[in-house]
Amino acid sequence: MPASALPSASAPGLPLVGITVLDLTRALAGPYATALLADLGATITKVESIKGGDSTRGWPPFEGDHSLYYDSTNRGKSSIAIDFYSAEGQALLKRMALDADVVIENFRPGVMADLGLDPAALLAEKPGLVVASVSGFGSTGPLSQTAGLDQVAQGMSGLMSVTGADADNLYRVGVPVIDIISGIFTAVGILASLVDRERTGTGHTVSTSLLEAALAISVFQGQRYLSTGVVPEPQGNDHPVLAPYGVFATADIPVIIAVGNEKQWRDLCALVGDAALADHPDLATGKLRTEHRGELKERLEALLVARTGLEWVEAFRAARIPTGPIYTYAQVFEDAQVKHLDMVQHVTRADGSDLPLLRGPVSIDGAALRIRKAPPALGEDTESVLAGLGLTPDQIAGLIDAGIVSALKS
C-alpha cells in the first residue's frame, strides 16, 4: 500500500488516481499546487514539521482556532508531523520520498540536500520519480538564497508598476496572485513530467520561482517594452490597450464594460442612445478610442447615468457585450451563476466543525470536482500514513513516544 493511500482518499474516475505525492511545501505556492493535484485524484501526504507545522496554521483570518488561510489551500490532503532534523525523521522522509511518484518542496535551494533528500540522489535511486520545487528567485543566480514572497515578486516583476490609479499610486493585487500562479505552473510541470514518465519510464526535476512566474504573466505589457522600448504605465481600472474597456459610472453603481470588437462598439453606442458616436472622428477605430479614452469615458458616462447599473448589465448581456457588476465577496456567493456552479462545498474537520470551502475550478467529463477531504489538522493522519509505509503499531508508538513524529490525539 503506497504511503498515505488512505481509504478516504479514493477517487474512482479522476485522472490522477494512483499517483502519490509527498508534499513538503508550506505557505501558499506549493500548497496551492498540491491542492490542484488532490482535486484531480492524487493522494497527497502533507509532511509538516513537528514544531508547529505549516506556518500558515498561525496566519489570520481565524475561525476559532482554525486558520482560514491554511484551510483555503490544503483541501484533500493528509498530514503527518515529523521531526525533520532527527536522523530517524530524515530516514522516514527518505523512505516516503522513494515510495511516492512525486516529491514537491519549496525550501530555500540546498535545504533538501541538508534533509538527506538531494533530488539527484533521489532520482538515482528511483529514476521514475518527479521532484518539483518552487523558490523565490530561482535555484541559481545572485538572489537564489534570498527569501522571496509574493509582494516582493509583484514589485520586482513590473506587475505593481502597471497596477494602480497612476504612477504615484501603485498597488499590489488584492490576493497573492504570484504565489497562486507559481503553484499552477508547478502543477503543470508535474503533470507534464508524469505524462513523459508514462512514455519513457524516467522522471524529471521540475522547478519554477515566484520571479519567473511573475515575469511570465506580463504577456503584452512585458512584450511592449521588449519590442518597442515603451515602459507601460498604470491605467487604473481601464484596460491598458483597449477602449471602452473598464469601469463606468451609471445611475447608481459602477459596472464593467468590455468592448473587444467593432460590432460590440457599434451595438454599445446604439444601446446607450447615441448610435452616431460609433462614427465620431475621434472614436471611429480601436486605436483612436484608446488615444481618446478620457473623452470617450465622459461621453459614455453622460449617457449611462440614465439607468441603473444592473439594468445596463442586463441590456448589454442580451446584446452579447461583456459586462458585469463589481461584487463584494458577500455578493459573489449570492450570485445565481456562482450558486449554479456549486463552487462552495461543505466538509467536516477532524474536530467535527463544519467548513464551507471553495472547490477546485476544474470539471472532468462535465462534472465539477468534489472536495474529498477537509484540510487536515497537524498530524491528523500520522498513524495511517506510517501504517501505509508498513510500520507496525508498536513501531509507530515507539516513534511517537520518542518524539520523532506526532499524531493528533482523538
Catalytic residues: 179
Q: Tell me which residue of 66, 154, 93 sits closest to 376, measured CA to CA.
A: 66
Q: Which residues pair with 207 in a beta bridge?
A: 133
Q: Are strands 130-135 and 102-105 parallel, antiparallel or unpaired?
A: parallel
111 burial type by CB count under 10 A (0-12 exposed, 13-18 middle, 19+ buried):
middle
* HSE-CB for 85 with a 13 A CA cutoff: 4
**Could you write out the DSSP letters of every residue in 105-156?**
E-PPTTHHHHTT--HHHHHHH-TT-EEEEEESS-SSSTTTTS---HHHHHHH
Q: Tell me which residue of 6, 79, 93, 3 sits closest to 48, measured CA to CA.
A: 79
Cell of 68: 482560514
Round to whole Å and give the CA distance between 279 and 281.
Answer: 6
Residue 207 neighbours by CB distance under 10 Å:
19
